[in-house]
Amino acid sequence: MPTYKQLLAEKEALEAKLSEVRANEVSSVIDQIRQLMADYDLTVDDIAPKRRRGRPAGSGAGVGAARKTSSLPPKYQDPKTGKTWSGRGRAPAWLGKRPERFLIEQAA
């Protein structure tokens, strides 16, 4: 049975052989790519994806339109701390199982 040091030496030898074989294959693949690009009159721009900056098209409401965010009036209030909640998003823990106790009277 081989020892730990022997296995490490085998691993290093295999890694060296792997890098050598890869270098040889990569150079031949690059030559093939260059030949195909020449045969079909392709450029790097034809192959590489176009990089765009900013948001993807269609993500906004319109050209130059900013998203309008308005805060909602609170519907619930904790009488002990004065904290409020509008009824949207995750409910706060202080609401408990009977949130109607914390409803704020709405002026009609």
Amino acid at 21: V
Pairing of strands 76-77, 84-85: antiparallel
Looking at residue 72, its pLDDT comes to: 84
Instruction: Please state whether the predicted TM-score (pTM) of the whole model is above 0.85.
Output: no
The answer to whether 85 and 74 are in contact (CB under 8 A) is: yes
Domain boundaries, the chain: 4-47, 72-108
pLDDT one-digit tens code per residue, 20-66: 999 989 989 999 999 999 999 998 888 887 777 777 666 665 555 55
What does DSSP assign to residue 63?
A: T
Looking at residue 52, its pLDDT comes to: 72
The answer to whether 66 and 94 are in contact (CB under 8 A) is: no
pLDDT one-digit tens code per residue, 64-105: 555 666 788 889 998 889 899 898 889 999 988 888 888 988
Q: How many residues does the chain have?
A: 108
